[in-house]
Amino acid sequence: MFQFIVASGNNGKIREIREMLGDLGQVISQKDANILLEPEEWGSTFKDNALIKAKAVFNALPGNLYSVFVIADDSGICVDALGGEPGVKSARYASTTHRNAEDGANRCKLIIELEKRGVTSSRAQFVACVALVGIGSRGEYVEYVANGVCEGEVINKERGHNGFGYDSMFIPDGFSQTLAELPSEVKNSLSHRYKALLQIRDRLAHA
């Protein structure tokens, strides 16, 4: 069995990762592991930022612990009508600093930006990069990044309560409901993060 330390304080992300990987071992937050650092996400891509977070938390662990992995997710929504924004700035879209903003403030900012352009909806995609960093059962260093994409449409209003981030504004292709209106099992099967975590599971089969 593995132990997974999630390099995040986002309870929604931690819950989704636990649902996906919990059968493979214990999933805890970096706070639960007494790692309180907040690495600055200076990367220009989701992959860059996922690796920055995963490596920072891994390097803070007390020694090289076998079968202990750090998982870091960097994800966001890319809206066609906004030229791909907010993209890597999704978590801090409404912030005036480099720190993350509240989900509600970010959604409000997105609605305002859509309305500035006179659009009520736009093609969009959720993108997730999930980094896995750790020491495998045979003592080898593991560094792997998985990618997942969920295509759909963003709307200029919020609908539903089963989700976090921009879920209540995103309608995945093939559905009329937002991700936040769908049951968890359906939402998870469509999720960009779920798709990336499936690849992580495959990689762990060889760790």
Task: Determine the Cα–Cα distance for residues 162 and 175; give it in Å rounded to an integer.
Answer: 15
Task: Determine the Cα–Cα distance for residues 76 and 88; give it in Å rounded to an integer.
Answer: 6
Q: Is 80 a catalytic residue?
A: no
List the structure tokens of 89: 């700035």
Catalytic residue among 48, 73, 74, 173: 74
DSSP state of 96: S
What are the phi and psi torsion angles at 192 (to 5°)?
-60, -40
Alpha helices (H) in 74-125, listed in sequence order? 103-116
Task: Determine the Cα–Cα distance for residues 146 and 191; give it in Å rounded to an integer.
Answer: 13
CB 64 within 8 A of CB 135: yes
Q: Which residues are catalytic?
A: 74
